[in-house]
Structure 1
Amino acid sequence: MTVLHNPVVRGFAPDPSMVRVGDRYYVATSSFEWFPTIPIHRSRDLAHWEYAGHVRGAVPGDSLAGVPDSGGIWAPSLSWDGERFWMTYSVVRSVGTPYFDADTYITTASDIGGKWSAPQRVVSHGFDPALFHDEGRLWLLNLQNDHRPGGRRFAGIVATELDRDTLAPAGPTHLLLQHERLVEGPKLVRRGDWYYLLLAEGGTGFEHGVLVARGRTVTGPYEVDDRPLLTSRDDLSVPLQKAGHGELVELPDGEWVLSHLAARPVLTPAGPRCTLGRETAVQPVTWDDADGWPRLRHGGWHPVVEVAVSPRSAAPPGQVAHSEEPLGWPWSSPRGYPDPSWADATTRPGWIRLRGRHGPESRWAHSLLAQRLTEHRAEVEVTVEARPLTFTQAAGLVLWYGADAYLGLDLTWAEPEGEEQRGQQWRDGGGRTALRLVERDEDVTREVAVVEVEFGAPVTMGATVDGADARFWYVRDGERVPVGPVLDFSRLSDDHGSRLRFTGAMAGIHAVDLVGAEFNADFGGFHLECTPPG
C-alpha cells in the first residue's frame, strides 16, 4: 500500500483528467491563458508526480493574445483508446458573458510527451468536453450552453457520436441529462452493464461537488444518485475545500480511485480565500454492493488529505517536476510561449534577459515569466540588473494572479523626492532610480512605496508570503530592508473581487517598455522556495 498526501499535484492545477495506461498514471490539467498549454503529470504510485510534458500546439498559432484572464484552455479531458492518447478541450475567448465563444478541439499522440497532432475543431456546444471510447465507437460529451436572454448557461449534458477518422458527427446530438443544479464537466465510465456519468456540480467554488448518474446505454436515460459522491460544501472545516470535477480510474488490482480538484483556503477576516488556486487530489473509491453506486472508501462524501492506495508500482519519493527546456516547466508565460532569446546562453549564461513590452495589464504582449506557488508559506528572490531612464521602463518581481490582481516591486525611474508627477521633464541628470512597490486590485492600482537605489547597480529583491500576508524587501549592505508595509496577499485568489477567477497565485519576473519596446533587464539567481505545512 502507498500513502498519498493530497493534493498530489500542488498549486494551480485544476480540472484534473486522469487515465491509467499499463502501470503509469497520467493527469492533464487546465492551463487557461498560460503557456505551456495543458500541462501533463505522470506517476507510478499515485503519490509522487512529475511533469511529463504538455500539448504543444493546442492553440492554433500558439497565441492567446487578447484572451481575458481566466479565459483560454478550460478543462481538458485525457483518454486512451488502447493505441494512442486523445485530448479534447475548449478554448474559451469570452469570460463573464452569455457567449463563451468557445471552440472545442481534439488532438492525439502516441507518446504522452511527444508530438501531438494538429488540433481539429469539432462540434462545440460549450466548454468541458470529454471523449468516451466504447467498443470502437467515439463519443463527445459536452455541456450545452443556452446564451439567450432567460436561458440557462448550464442547460444540460449532451453527447454526439463522432467518426473516428474524420471527427465529424456520426449521428444526432443526444440530451443525456438536465438537472436543477448547475452541472458541467461530464465524464463517462462503463462498469458491467452500467454507464456511469460523473458530473461537476454546483459551480467550481465552495459549492462544488461530484454528482453521479447512470444509465444502461450511452444515450440514456440516466437516473441521478440521491447523494453526492464527493463534496465539502456542507463543512468549511474540511481541509480540502471546493472538492469536485471528478474522474474514475480503475487500478490494476480492480480497485478504483477518483481524481478531483480541491483547494486549501487561508482564513481571512473577509472569509476563506484560496490563494494557491485549485489543485489535484485523489480519493479511493469502492462500489456499494447493495445498490451499485460508487462511494468514497472512507465513507461519507468529504475528501481526506491522507489516503492509502494500492497501485502495484512503487516510485521513489521526492520527484521534482522540471522541463529540460531553458525556459520550460515550471516556468509559465501568459498568452504565448516565452521568447527563446530570453534564455540566450550566449548573452549572459545563467541569466534571463527580458525585453520590455506592454504593461502588466496587457492581454497582448506582457514580458512575464512566473512559477506556481505550491504552499501557503513561500519565499522568492531574484537579482535585477537594468538601467531604466524613464517612468515608462520598469523591471522587477511580481506576485501575480492576473492583470487585475498583482503585487509588484519594480526597478524604474521616478521624479526627485518631493516633486509631483507631471510626466517626463527630460532634464539631464534629473530624477532618480527607484524601487516602486504597487498593488493592483481590480480597477485600482495603488503606489505603496518608493525607495531610491543606485543607478546601474544590480538589486537583489524578494518577497515573503505567509498565508494571507506578503512582505517585499531588497538587500542593502548585505541586509534585507523591507519595502512598504505587509500587503494583503489573499486578494490574489479565486475568491476576491467581483470577476470570475479560475487560476492561482504565481511568483515571477517581468519587464515593461511602453515607448521603445527595447529596454532590456537581466535577472539572475531566481529562486522560489515553497514550504509545506509541518
Structure 2
Amino acid sequence: MPQITNPILPGFNPDPSILRVGEDYYIATSTFEWFPGVQIHHSKDLANWDLITRPLSRKSQLDMRGDPDSCGVWAPCLSHDGEKFWLVYTDVKRKDGSFKDAHNYIVWADKIEGPWSDPIYVNSSGFDPSLFHDDDGRKWFVNMMWDHRRRPLLFAGIALQEFDPVAGKLVGPRTNIYQGTDLKLVEGPHLYKRNGWYYLLTAEGGTAYDHACTFARSRTIDGQYETHPDKHILTSKDAPFAAIQRGGHGDLVETPDGKTYLVHLGGRPTTQERRCVLGRETSIQEAYWGDDDWLYVKNGPVPSLHVEVPGSRNDNAYWTEQRYTFERGLPIDFQWLRTPETERIFSTDGGKLRLFGRESIGSWFEQALVARRQTHFSYDAETVIDFAPTDERQFAGLTAYYSRYNFFYLTVTAHADGQRELLLMSSEISWPDGNLKFPAAPVTIPNQGKVKLALEIRGPKLQFFYALEGQDRQPIGPVLDASILSDECGGHQAHGSFTGAFVGVAASDLNGTALPADFDYFVYRPVRHETDRYEI
C-alpha cells in the first residue's frame, strides 16, 4: 500500500472522531472558540481529506460569546446509525479552576452536508461525550465525569447512560464504568462492539506530553471495564524524541476490506522550548486485532510518522498558494471568533471582505477577526486594506493570532490628531495581565490610499512588511518570535491551551461607531524551509 506522512489533517485539528459510511470516510474535529463549530473533513482513501462542512452554523445551535480562550466546542463525536448522522458536542463556558461549566448537546442530519437539526440539550456533568449505537437499536451516551471536590485531579471516571431519541433525553440509571489507569485524567471515551466484547477507548494523561490512548473492555456494556495488558495502545510519553508528540485522544475505523485504523491527535513541537505552533493535529496509525481479542497499534505504541493507507496523497495541493477573493462569499477555510451574528462583524457584498470594527482584538464577546489556520511551519501572508481611521481607537490590519494573550498585529490606525499611521502591536505571552507591547515606533502614512500588509514566517521567525500604493514593500519592526503562537504559550496553566496559530485580518473601533475596513484579497503561500524538520 502507499505510504503517507502524518499528520493527515495538519494545523489545528484536534480530538478526531472518525466514521465510515459505505466508501466515504468522515472526521469531525474540535473548533473551540472558533465559529462555525466543528470541522468535518471527507476522504475516499484515508490519505486525501477535504473540509466539507461546519455543521454548527446557527445561533440556535451555538453561541460562544463570552467563552474564554480554548473553551467553546470540545471533542465532537460523529456517528451514523444506518439512517442518519449524529453529532454530539460540548460547549464549555468555563474551564479554569475547580469548576467546569460544560454543556452537552446532540444534533442530527440526513446528509453530512446538512441541514443539521437544532440541538437537544443532554447534560452538563462532564465533557467529551460520545453516542454509541448498539446492535439492539439502543443508544448510549458516554462522557467523562467532573468532580469539583477532588484535589488535585478532578476527573471522576467515564459515565454511561441510555439516550432515548424519541423522548430526546437520557433515561435509566447512570453508571460509572471506568476509572482509568494510574496515568489519570481519563476523558475522550468512545465505545465499540466486536466478537461479544464492548471496547472502551479513552484519552489519559492530559493533552500535553504525557497524553495517551488507553483501551479497556467488558462483556457487558455497563460492566466494569478491564484495562488492556499494555494499558496505553498509543502514546509518545516515553519517547521524547519522536516526531509526533502528545499522541492521544483517538477513535477507530474499519476499512471495507477489514483493516483497522486509529486516528488520534498529536503535535509536532519546534524550537528548544518544544512549542507546537500548529497546535494539535490529526494523525493516523494502522492497528490490528490480536488472537487475544485486544487491539494493538502497528509498530506502536509510539505514533509513526510514516504510515501505509489505501490511498496516495496529493502533496502538490498541500504546497499550492491559496489566493482568496470574496466574490462568492467567505471561503470555507476561514473562521471567526465566538459570535453567530456574522452580519455584525463582516460582509462580502461587492466582492471585498468588509470588517465592521467592533471590540478590541482578544475580546471574548464580539470582535471582528476573520482568519484561517496556519498549516505549515513556514509561509507568507498578504492582504490589501482600505481603511480611514480618525483616531487611535480605530485600528485594522493583518494578524498572526493564537489567543487574547498571544498575537502579533500590524494595524492601520491614526494618531490622536487624526494623522494615519502604521502601528505594530503584540500581546506576547501577556498572561495574566494581557497588556500590549509595541515592538516598533509608529510609521506615519498618508491619510488616503490603500496599504499592502504582509508577513513572512520562517520556522520561529516572523517579519512584518508594508507597502504604500505604487511603492515597493519594506519591513516594519524587528524579527519576532513566531513560536509563541503555540499551545505551550497560550496563556493558561499546563494542559490549558488547546487550539493553534491562525493568520487573518481584524478590525476594531473602540469608539463604538463600527468603522468598516475593506480587504481586497488574502494570500496564504506555503514555503519549504530548512528549519522545518517534520514538514509533510
Q: TM-score, normalised by structure 1?
A: 0.91
User: What are the superposed Cα offsets for residues 128-184 of structure 1, whole Å, 9 maximum, x if unpaired?
Assistant: 000111120100001010012637421101100111312322310111111332210
2:284 counterpart (264, 282, 289): 282
Match of 2:170 in 1: 169
Instruction: Provide closer, same or farther for how the CA distance between residues 342 and 243 of structure 1 changes in structure 2, counting only shifts above 3 A.
Output: same
1:190 to 187, 193, 209: 193
2:532 is matched with none
Q: 1:202 to 1:340 in 2, by over 3 A?
A: same
Report percent identity of matched pairs. 39
Structure 2 residue corresponding to 1:199, chosen from 195, 198, 202: 202
Residue 513 of structure 1 pairs with residue 509 of structure 2: yes
Q: Give me the whole-angstrom Cα distance separating, in 2, the residues matched to 1:154 and 1:246.
A: 18
Tell me the SS of whatever aligns to 1:495.
helix
CA distance in 2, matches of 1:59, 1:29: 20
Which residue does the alignment assign to 1:68?
68
Equivalent residue number for residue 470 of structure 1: 462
2:347 corresponds to? 343
Alignment check: 8 A CA contact 1:57 1:119 kept:
no
3-state SS, counterpart of residue 509 of structure 1: strand
Pairing partner for 1:435 from 422, 433, 436: 422
CA contact (8 A) 2:61 2:118 kept: no
- The whole-number CA distance in structure 2 between the counterparts of 1:149 and 1:220 is 24
Change (3 A) 1:487 1:35: same
CA distance in 2, matches of 1:112, 1:34: 20
Q: Given residue 54 of structure 1, which amino acid in structure 2 is its aligned partner?
A: R
Structure 1 counterpart of 2:531: none
Determine the C-alpha separation between the residues in 2 that align with 1:286 and 1:531: 37
Please show how residues 379-390 of structure 1 align to structure 2 within 5 Å: 379-390=380-391
CA separation of 1:315/1:472 partners in 2, compared to 1, >3 Å: closer, same or farther?
closer
TM-score by length of 2: 0.91
Judging changes above 3 Å, is the alpha-carbon distance between structure 1 residues 97 and 465 closer, same or farther for their aligned structure 2 residues? same
Question: Does the CA contact (< 8 Å) of 2:345 and 2:357 recur in 1?
Answer: no
CA distance, structure 1, for counterparts of residue 345 and residue 506 of structure 2: 15
Could you list the per-position Cα deviations for residues 389-417 of structure 1 after superposition, in whole angstroms to 9, with x for gaps in the alignment?
10011110000001111000000012xxx
Contact 1:286 1:296 in 2 (8 A): yes
Return the match for 1:457 from 449, 455, 458.
449
Unpaired stretches in structure 2, ≥5 consecutive residues: 529-534
Closer, same or farther: CA 243–149 of 1 in aligned 2, 3 Å: closer
149 and 215 in structure 1: CA distance in 2 versus 1, 3 angstrom threshold: closer
Q: Deviations over 1:88-146 (max 9, x none)?
A: 11110002122211111011111001111110001332010001111201000010100
How many angstroms does 1:438 deviate by?
1.1
Partner of 2:404: 403
Paired residue for 1:211? Answer: 214
Partner of 2:329: 326
Give 2:266's match in structure 1, choosing from 257, 262, 266: 262
Residues 448-504 of structure 1 show CA distances to partners (whole Å, capped at 9, x for unaligned) of: 112121211211011111112111111255433111111111111101244421110
List aligned pairs for 1:417-432, cutoff 5 A: 424=416, 430=417, 432=419
Aligned residues of 1:2 and 1:45 also touching (Cα < 8 A): no
**Taking structure 1 as reference, are residues 23 and 318 closer, same or farther at Cα in structure 2, changes over 3 Å only?**
farther
Question: May I ask how many residue pairs the two structures share in their alignment?
Answer: 511
Question: Are the counterparts in 2 of residues 49 and 319 from structure 1 also a CA contact under 8 Å?
Answer: no
Does the 8 Å CA contact 2:401/2:407 hold for their aligned counterparts?
A: yes
Indicate the larger mover: 388-397 or 300-309. 300-309
Report the Cα offset of residue 25 of structure 1.
0.2
Cα 1:105–1:62 change in 2 (3 A) is closer
Whether the 8 Å CA contact 2:25–2:42 is kept in 1: the answer is yes
> Aligned residue for 1:360?
361
Judge conservation of contact 1:145–1:152 (CA < 8 Å) in 2. no
C-alpha distance after superposition, 1:355-381 (max 9, x if no partner): 111111211111110000001001110
In the alignment, structure 1 segments of 5+ residues that lack a partner are: 415-423, 425-429
Distance in structure 1 (CA, Å) of the matches to 2:314 and 2:482: 34
